[in-house]
Structure 1
Amino acid sequence: FKTYSQDGVGACGRPVTNSGSCVGITFPSRDIKHSQVCGKVIGYQDGRTNGAAAYHASKVINSAYIDGISLTHGNPRKHIWTLVSGQSSQKTCCPCGSLDPKSVPSFVGSHYYCESGCHTAR
């Protein structure tokens, strides 16, 4: 992960690339059995994100299938929930986007939230 800081707000994320990338972090369960995952995701948008846009050629769980954050578990990975970062409030590249709707991969199902941090048309 790379650390970002702007206007007193610190965040971490993947390095910016032109082709998309994935960065992962593992939280070991230490063999503790669990039936739920609880947490909080706060997303900060910097620049132009592409939501679930079709430019993500691969729609498989081990690829960069969205701009945002995905929570998965297990080996092989199983999807839990995804925060999709849309392009702008008008062109979100989300399934419910008003100008350019894009679908999420089938393994995501309805377990996602899609929003943009940019509230102007870009």
Structure 2
Amino acid sequence: MTYTGSSCEDIYNNNPETGDKSGYYYVDGKWTYCNMNEIAAGDHDFIPTCAGHGGGWKRIINIDISVGDDCPNGWRKDTYDGVSFCRLVSNDYYACSSANFSTNGAGYQKVCGRARGYQKGWAASFFGYHSRSYNIDHVSGYADGLLITYGSPRNHIWTYVNGQYDNRTHRYNCPCASSTGYTPPPFVGTN
């Protein structure tokens, strides 16, 4: 049977038999990958922070470098010690790389995601925001890590930040370290 609807969530809510049957569904006239799994707290097969929000998630982007996927435009693929990853194109300390992903006009109220990061060199947490007053739209960024935003001008979703130490005092530490560093900008909050 082909299920159709205006969104993955619409198909999930109106067809209870689709629960736990992730795959391609016909959404707004095109085939779209939908994760239909009900996410339970502690479920390691999907993103734990999405627990309690039901199924019906539309996949916008899925990049898995470990299985040979390419990096998004503006990033380059690299391998170190047998681990492949996407990295900045430039080696400049103040450089950053951006990638844009389209929802193809689909509206949304929730975003759920997962990212795996690797550190190279000196990690400076929220140094850019505090030392240079970089804001969310500044090309060098307000944080040392992965910044996830939407729209133009940018609106904050998540910031995954690297810090210098966990158990030693340093201003470049993450706010969540046992010896905290710079606080995040107000637009980041606890996200």
Q: TM-score interval w.r.t. the shorter chain?
A: 0.7 to 0.9
Q: Give the Å deviation of 1:52.
A: 1.2
Match in the other structure for 1:17: 92
- TM-score, length basis structure 1: 0.78
Distance 1:67 1:27 in 2: 21
The total of aligned residue pairs comes to 110
> Runs of 5+ in structure 2 lacking a partner?
1-74
* 2:77 equivalent to 1:3: yes
Query: Residue 111 of structure 2 corresponds to which residue in structure 1?
Result: 37
- What value does the CA root-mean-square deviation take over the aligned residues? 1.9
Structure 2 Cα separation of the partners of residues 70 and 43 of structure 1: 12
* Distance (Å, rounded) in 2 between the aligned partners of 1:10 and 1:88: 25
Q: Which runs of 4+ in 1 moved over 6 A?
A: none
Equivalent-residue separation in structure 2 for 1:24 and 1:58 (angstroms): 20
Could you state the TM-score of these two structures normalised by the residue count of structure 2? 0.52
Q: The residue matched to 1:11 in structure 2 has which SS?
A: strand
Farther off after superposition, 55-64 or 22-31? 55-64
What code does the residue aligned with 1:6 have? Answer: Y
Larger mean CA deviation between 54-63 and 66-75 belongs to 54-63
What is the 5 A alignment of 1:48-87? 48-53=122-127, 56-63=131-138, 64-87=141-164
Three-state SS of the structure 2 residue aligned to 1:82 is strand
Separation (CA, whole Å) in 2 of partners of 1:60 and 1:106: 10
Higher helix share: 2
* Identity score, percent: 34
The structural deviation recorded for 1:56 is 4.7
* Structure 1 spans left out of the alignment, 5+ residues: 112-122
Decide which structure has the larger Cα Rg and report it. Answer: 2
